[in-house]
Structure 1
């Protein structure tokens, strides 16, 4: 490149309409002086760039005496030549150069000037300093991709960090990567009992401990409220992942001090390993999260296995459809008869939720109730069941012309007992339907009482104030003791079907059933046996003095109308 004089051979006005140019004559160099940013008039002839005119800002940034030695000089000249050769009237590009205070960024444009006869092509070059704009963009991007509390990458930033590692790290042929998901257990209790600031302090401390256990190249991120994840390069597959898991456990093994308290942090850990380096990292993250959900239930480290992600997607579909079904009234109740074993009389029915979805088909209660408990929909589902059961009794009374001499049992989830005002729910159910409390029985499990004994006690006495009978479901599978049974207002024990169905073949199961019957008699409680599927079982339980039974031997759960007809048909009851 060579310099040329700063004056053009002819500084007269360019050709064009009379009002398209100023009436006075101004040199090109004088036009450039008016620009507040670097500018230059450049000539291009015989594949060479020549300076026709520049302003002071251009000299300061681009073309000082030492311009040829500047690292960026060759680059911007080359970029200008590329723009000129494009034959477009204007082109733009961004230029980065290393300044005294760090990288500097310029938005550069090259525009073709009107051609003068007999003169080489002239171009206007301008460079707008965008360093401060890029710094703002960088800060905003950092905020977008990082967690403000722990300064770790967030879920979005985690994905970008993984992509960067996969693209720029050296990877042996047999290497793979893994995602380790970590869910802090009981974190919500810290927030509830000590406040959100203590919860934040706990998260910061956990983040520091986890980070201290990382290897070079590993990435730690906070991908949720109390969820962390680690991206790890695995040269030895699962053994490397388990080694990292052990380091996580070691880092969290000793208590964390918050205020005057020492808190031991428990966590659920799930791992997912990539099948190849080309596998979508987001899929591996989802697999690890699916594994950690299983770990929360099992209490062990879980490794993702094929099919778990499909199960998680199925649960998501069930949750979404269940939410709509509850809102649109698409669930129904089925009623299974409760039979007095000594007389054959129908004493009541157990209300059981049923769901036929137009997309999912028949969905098992075992599946959708578990999803409802996990998602929090169990409160809405439980309320619907209580209201609908009471309304069913009201409709039967209207058909019969007087109160039908049967009741309905409604199941209570431990999660609903913990989160909902159950006593108020039953009071509303009874009031809206106009039936008496002694016709609606609340069934709850032993685990619901054990989880929060004091709260369960208050609830049971509140239900007794409504004159409702109370049944303990699945008795024998939990940890109830004589003291709790004696002190709680329980009316009925329901022997779990796991003891009943095989009691004739299993001596230990028969002894268990006899023991429960003897215990109930001493405490003045009634007993219902679940899972009676043969006449032999019904007769055996009748001979043992069991009060009530239910099972497929008598009838399967049936719709509301069929249940009423079943009761009417057996009004003149027969013996078992």
Structure 2
């Protein structure tokens, strides 16, 4: 092969080739032939001693193969890049579409078709940031009697009314930098220009008049409002921006409006709002530490004055402030989703107490426990109640579950209430209707409602007892309940005159300060059984 080329075996490449062959090393070189065509020689040793694999490839063929390889590689690379760019564009498009949907869900209210409160907060903070010295007010507006319209005329009519309210407010708040949005349920928020209170109030009065014209069969639509004046320069910096806090102040002002339909957020309201926030935090800790206590208020037989039952009530003794009124912390629990924990805590304490009385051998008296609206809407809580009954081995017939009249206010939900009470009966509970007469329930509903006990609203006794019409209504209720086989209880009784009248009217049980205030368990045991019972049932 070497002889057929223009090279001699003494040349460097030939010497290198011979040395590599002797050493058993692989290599390659280019040979120039007489014809002028170069040949690529590749050689590498085989596993057989002294044998090599030599490959001769014309260089022009090799070059064309390399060119084709490079062309194919380039084409594939271009295709992959195009595919990648297509996928990237598709992903960006999907992200933009999803971003648009998320923004629409966040910034759009599905009921009114207008702006959501999230959008209002975002835009209001932008307006304040751009014009920190401008004067604005935040208004919280709630429709007082909307729940009646929603319940009696139906959800569709209620939604239509909400759309009409939004359209009316949007028409009235027509400034370039004014915003309107629906918050939760029937609450609306307005971000308005203006600083002088008389002008702001006059404007809100005009809005309230327009809303009153959006009447239904229930009557004119009533609105209550809370006003918060944004101080110039406040919330101008990002670290100071907390528009939700401004809305909370307006909410607090609205809820503090008693007789008037509007109220302005003052320092005292702000302080009360802060106190409520602090109290909520402390209340959560008190629930975790089980600091809330059960008190029992006796129910006394109207005929002979004997203790015939008790109502379990919750009390909170604050480590610094002492006893906190239930009228203060119970609404706080209801507004912040803690009331179900309170229900379970008191129910378990009732079961533990009844179990202890059984061990002591005393004659048991039934104890009534309130069922919150949240629990009523979620009957699954009954499985937890049954578990607690089994733990303390308490017969359910010694526990009376109280539901308030307000939960059966809607005639459309009457069947649900009836089914719920029947479920309680199947478990073994008795059921009472609390605060009867506080709403607009028809006496005729009682014949179809399978309750065991009717508790007269305390307002009949406390504020209207002197009226002859009130006494006549009480007598009618007692007479109807007796004919239907329903036991009756009167709450809030404080005077001997009231006791005498209720006894003559046929009331079965009386509950109130005339006989006893709510008592700690040990004091109730002394009152009802003549002795206090220890943890194991022993007399103390």
CA distance change for structure 1 residues 358 and 490 in 2, over 3 Å: closer, same or farther?
Answer: same
Alignment of 1:123-272 (within 5 A): 149=108, 153=119, 155=121, 158-167=124-133, 176-181=135-140, 213-220=172-179, 229-234=189-194, 236-240=196-200, 242-243=202-203, 246=206, 270-272=225-227
Alignment of 1:140-539 (within 5 A): 149=108, 153=119, 155=121, 158-167=124-133, 176-181=135-140, 213-220=172-179, 229-234=189-194, 236-240=196-200, 242-243=202-203, 246=206, 270-274=225-229, 277=232, 285-292=247-254, 300=261, 302-304=263-265, 307-398=268-359, 400=360, 402=361, 404-451=363-410, 452-501=413-462, 505-539=466-500
Contact 1:153 1:221 in 2 (8 A): no
CA distance change for structure 1 residues 484 and 234 in 2, over 3 Å: closer, same or farther?
Answer: same
Quick check: 1:564 aligned with 2:518? no
CA RMSD of aligned residues (A): 4.2
CA distance change for structure 1 residues 510 and 153 in 2, over 3 Å: closer, same or farther?
Answer: closer
The DSSP-based 3-state class of the residue aligned with 1:166 is coil
Gaps of 5+ in 2: 1-98, 109-114, 216-220, 237-242, 533-540
The DSSP-based 3-state class of the residue aligned with 2:514 is coil
1:80-137 CA distance string (max 9 Å, x none): xxxxxxxxxxxxxxxxxxxxxxxxxxxxxxxxxxxxxxxxxxxxxxxxxxxxxxxxxx
Shift of 1:508: 3.0
- The CA distance in 2 between the partners of 1:321 and 1:208, in whole Å, is 41
CA distance change for structure 1 residues 237 and 430 in 2, over 3 Å: closer, same or farther?
Answer: same
- The CA distance in 1 between the partners of 2:480 and 2:325, in whole Å, is 34
CA distance change for structure 1 residues 470 and 298 in 2, over 3 Å: closer, same or farther?
Answer: farther
Shift of 1:207: 8.2
CA distance change for structure 1 residues 205 and 489 in 2, over 3 Å: closer, same or farther?
Answer: closer
CA distance change for structure 1 residues 148 and 337 in 2, over 3 Å: closer, same or farther?
Answer: closer
Shift of 1:331: 0.4
- The CA distance in 1 between the partners of 2:502 and 2:226, in whole Å, is 49
The DSSP-based 3-state class of the residue aligned with 2:519 is coil
- The CA distance in 1 between the partners of 2:488 and 2:210, in whole Å, is 49
- The CA distance in 2 between the partners of 1:230 and 1:405, in whole Å, is 57
* Structure showing the higher helix proportion among its residues: 2
Q: Which has the higher contact order (CA 8 A, sep 6+)?
A: 2
CA distance change for structure 1 residues 471 and 309 in 2, over 3 Å: closer, same or farther?
Answer: same
Larger radius of gyration: 2
- The CA distance in 2 between the partners of 1:236 and 1:499, in whole Å, is 44
Shift of 1:232: 2.8
- The CA distance in 1 between the partners of 2:402 and 2:211, in whole Å, is 44
The DSSP-based 3-state class of the residue aligned with 1:351 is strand
CA distance change for structure 1 residues 349 and 280 in 2, over 3 Å: closer, same or farther?
Answer: same
- The CA distance in 2 between the partners of 1:307 and 1:383, in whole Å, is 34
Q: How many residues align?
A: 401
- The CA distance in 1 between the partners of 2:207 and 2:463, in whole Å, is 47
- The CA distance in 1 between the partners of 2:525 and 2:432, in whole Å, is 23
- The CA distance in 2 between the partners of 1:397 and 1:416, in whole Å, is 28
TM-score w.r.t. length of structure 2: 0.63
- The CA distance in 2 between the partners of 1:205 and 1:478, in whole Å, is 27
Shift of 1:517: 1.7
Contact 2:293 2:316 in 1 (8 A): yes
Shift of 1:355: 0.4
The DSSP-based 3-state class of the residue aligned with 1:274 is strand
Shift of 1:541: 2.7
The DSSP-based 3-state class of the residue aligned with 2:334 is helix
Contact 2:404 2:433 in 1 (8 A): yes
Contact 2:298 2:518 in 1 (8 A): yes
Shift of 1:460: 0.3
1:165-197 CA distance string (max 9 Å, x none): 234x6xxxxxx53222356988xx9xxx99xxx
Q: Residue 81 of structure 2 aligns with which residue? A: none
Shift of 1:157: 5.0
The DSSP-based 3-state class of the residue aligned with 1:508 is helix
Gaps of 5+ in 1: 1-139, 170-175, 256-265, 572-576
Shift of 1:354: 0.4
Shift of 1:284: 5.1
Shift of 1:364: 0.7
- The CA distance in 2 between the partners of 1:230 and 1:504, in whole Å, is 43
The DSSP-based 3-state class of the residue aligned with 2:131 is helix
CA distance change for structure 1 residues 240 and 480 in 2, over 3 Å: closer, same or farther?
Answer: closer
1:187-234 CA distance string (max 9 Å, x none): xx9xxx99xxxx9xx999998986665444524276967776443332
Contact 2:140 2:226 in 1 (8 A): yes
1:417-459 CA distance string (max 9 Å, x none): 1245343344333222211122101122211222432221111
Shift of 1:330: 0.7
